[in-house]
Each structure stands twice: as structure tokens, then as C-alpha cells.
Chains A and B, each alone.
Chain A
Amino acid sequence: MKAINFLITGVGGQGTLLAGDLLAAVGLAAGYDVKKSDILGLAVRGGAVVGHVRWAERVFSPIVPDGQVDFLVAFEVLEGLRWLHHVRPEGTVLLNQQEIHPVTVSSGLTGYPDPAAVDRALGERGGPVFKVPGLELALRLGNPRVLNVVLLGALSSRLPLSAALWQQVLKNRVPGRYLELNEKAFEQGRTWAQERSDS
């Protein structure tokens, strides 16, 4: 069993916590030893958040070691760029194409990275990069809150596990009345990524 390190980054309130929970549960269901680590508390009020999930034969630390990220799942552009240098050279980046401006940007104290700079940083990567229109896909289902499951769907297409296993975890973890919506969100993300080679 190959060890896999995931980093989930975004802005507090975007649903990164649930994504980490689901991803950890999938690893456990697939027979891995699993550890995960979240930052809770004040950071969830619109601050930068990062969650670690590790799958392996045996996991010691719940923190992904520096520079050993296999999959970066970024819910927001700036919060993806912030962790880019921790992704292994051959690692995969899924970058949700959503920009949330920190208030220091709105008030003119700093600037948001411009698109050219983002593309330059992504262009230097060796491994696959997916610019996922996650919010757009979620809004197509009428609910921005399923962004997290859309992104997991996209991620799932890059992992050697059956879709059925993911669906089973969703069934166990998502309350009944939201299940169908989340199943659709997962499919949206998965199909979107399957239809694309690296872009």
C-alpha cells in the first residue's frame, strides 16, 4: 500500500473540514491506517485553514511532513498558492477557481495575486494541475455548500479506488435529506475531472 498525503486548504467557512472527514473515512474504508489533523477555533472565521489527511500502512504523525504532499486540494486560489511549494514535484494539484479576497486586499493594503502570476506558478509544476470550476459546478446543483464534495469527486478520479467505495462513505456520513444532492455533486466533480487530462 502506497502512503498518500493530502493537504486540503481554503478559507474558513468553505467546507474544508467535512472534506477532510470524508477523505479520512474513505481511506479507512479502503483498509489504510489513517490520521488527519485540522485547525479549528478562530481561524474558521474567514481565516486561512489547512487540513492534513494521511493514508498509509501505518501512520505516525497526523501532520503531513514538509514538502511531501501528494495531493493538494485547494478550495481557493490564494490558499492553493500558499501551499504549492509543499507539493512533491510529481504531486497533483486541484485548484478550485474561486477567489476570496482577504479584507486587506479589499481595503487596498495588499493586492491579490494576478492571473498571470498564478499561471506562472502553476506552469512551473511537474505534476498534474487541475483548475476545477468547483463553485460553478456546485451552483449548477443549486447549492454552493456542496463545493467540498464536488472537489472530492474530482480528486477521486485520480485515486485507485472504486467510485462505489466513495459513494458508500457518503451514504454513511451525509444526512439522508442531503444525500442525493451530495451524490450528484460527487458525480459532477468526478466526471469533470475524468473528461480532462492535465490542464
Chain B
Amino acid sequence: MIEKNLIIIGGGPAGLAAAKAAYDEGERDILILEREQNLGGILNQCIHNGFGLHTFKEELTGPEYAGRYVKEVVARGIEYKLGATVINVTKDKVITCVSEAEGLAKYKAKAIILACGCRERPRGGINIAGSRCAGIFSAGTAQKLVNIDGYMVGKEVVILGSGDIGLIMARRMTFEGAKVKAVVELMPYSSGLNRNIVQCLNDFDIPLKFSHTVVDINGEGRVSSVVIAQVDEKLNPIMSTAEEIKCDTLLLSVGLLPENELSKMAGVELSPITGGGIVDDDMMTGVEGIFQCGNILHVHDLVDFVSEESDLAGRRAVAYIRNGKISKDYVDVSATGGVRYVVPQKISRQTDCATLKLKMRVANVFRNKRLVVEADGEEIFSKKRPVVAPGEMETISLNATHLDKIKKASKVVVSLKEA
């Protein structure tokens, strides 16, 4: 058994930012375990522009953004292992890892940061009927085949779901000479960023059909067509509106799911709404010394916020390593009235933070609202929001005054109210 102070599982933007922050906080005994052959996580396949506007005040591609953090990590001499898949994590922070180079290795850590990212929801998860032929890909799988491996996956494409990866792939496939016939979205709004709808669809005249879904897939060897139909308010397809679209490819961009297999093994309590862990203001889960950040915690649309959140997790993990177990008592933070969830879900009354960011997503598109934080019914924070949408994460920055009020309260609620 190899002992380490801090082990970070996942070398994507979350893991890298956490490692850098932990180092800068003074910790030297850090190990990053990454199962791929490169650091950088999902960003390696996101070759488009648009990363880093918040962090670096410039527009970088995914690999460029990841590259900056990789450089920081390498410059600090932080140890990392590639091709190293963690297959088990226990409550006592024992990690089992396998790799081609080192076989099966066991580590014991003082603190663990889980930064495993997320995966895409598959076809099976949304119960689309039809043929089970080739030509149906999740958008991220297609993105990897096109951007990393250099192969085209189809000529005539329909995309189900308007998540960011789907939108970006609509543009990418068009650049490569494919015809994207439609992006079909079940909801009356998109789950992607507005800027992606403009830059990836509108600029290329790709139709976006809201309140529509795919009701059937045809094809023997490969997809030959899909049937789409409008849905009613209960999201049930209206079959009289069915329309067949000839295509050889169906891409699915129907949601991302935080990857919490290891968290479950370690006994981390998960939120049924985010699918990620339930954490406190230190990004610590219910299991002492196990932290989460990035897409494993909740799905982010902007990597800049991943870096920011992970920076906090890295620093607080070091504090935990130094101070050991601190008894905390918590104020629960809950979401209601149009807000789906808030992270963190609890704030410690002992917190010594001067500021804290609450991150949240709303349940629908709303106009002219205020985002409101109430402590025991008293409004302690309010922010005007002309438009909010499920595709864009909302943030509330709390200062010391807010936090003082929160520490004294028995519960905190975040909601949307009329402006």
C-alpha cells in the first residue's frame, strides 16, 4: 500500500485545477490518476473555440485551455500517472488502481478529490423505439471519432437533443461536408448555451425544432431514416404530425450524467437531481476527506467555472489534510420556486470563508425574475435576472455579511421571484 496525502482521481480540467491549487496551498505529496493516455479530460476532443473567456480573458480551444493547466501542473512537478484506471475507492480512502505499466496498485490517501467528469445519456436511457442498427451515436462519441480519430461518421445527419455537444457537432459535421437536416429538441427550449445555438445552427441555417422528438428509427445495416413528431404539453408525441427524415446518422445529445460509480463505492451520498455528490462549502462530500469538483459534482456548461470550483476543492482538501477532522454543523441550502438545484447543498457554521459562490440551474426559461436567497425567511440576497434558462448555470456570490446571516440561520432557500 502506497501512502499519499492527496490523490486526485481524474486529470481533466477539474483534477488539474485542484492539483495546482493544492500545490500552491503548500501541499507537495499529490498524485493524479488518469485513465486516458493524456491529461486534459474531455477538453481534448473539444477542438472548437470558446473556452477560457472568464479565466484567461481570451478565447481558447479546448486542448489549449487544458494545455495551460497541464503546463502549470508539470511546472510544479506534480506527480501523475496515465493509463491508470481507478476501479475502487473505499470509505477509508483506500484506492485500487490498475494500469498496464504497474499492474494493480493500492493507495491510501489522507484526502481524495473525485474529479471523474461525466458521461452522456445513451439511447437506452430515453427509450427511443426503432431499429437497432449502426449509425446511432451519442454526440460525444461522434466528436471523438471525428476530432481525435479523424473519421467521418455520416453524410446526412439528424441530431436529437440540443445540448451543447450536439450543437457543436452540428457545426462540425457541416464543416466536414455533411448535411445536418435538423436538430430536434423535446422541450420548448434548448438545454445548450444560447451562443452555441447562434454560432452553430443559425449561422448555417440548420433548423432547430423545439417540442419535437424522434419516434422511430429505420434501417437494416445502417440508419436509413428517422421519424420525428411534435409533442404535446405532457411531452407525448402527436403521431398525426409525424414526418420521416432520410438520414444515415442519428446523433444524441440528450444529457450528461455525472460519473459517480466510484463515489457510490466509497459511500458518498448523491443528489437525485444533479446525480453528483452532496457537498458542503468545502466541496467535501458526506464522507470525511472525500471531495468532489467539476462535472462529477454537477454538469457545467463552461469549463471556467469548473476550474474555479476545483481550485476551491484543492485548497480545502489541503486544509483538511492539515487540520484533520473538524466537527462541523451545517445549514442546509435548498432550491425551490423554479430553481432545480443548488451546489453546495450545505454550508458549515464554522466556515472561515469570506466569500462563497452558490451555483444553480433553473427548471425552465423564465423572464424578468430575481434570484433570491432567504435565510429563515429573510431575504438576504437578490439579483435581477431578465432571462434565465436551464442551459446556463446561474451563480450567486455571497460575501461575509451574507455568510454571517447564513451561519445563524436554520435553513437557507434559493428561489426565483417576480422582479
Binding partners A and B? no
Question: Which B residues are closer than 8 A to A by beta carbons?
Answer: none
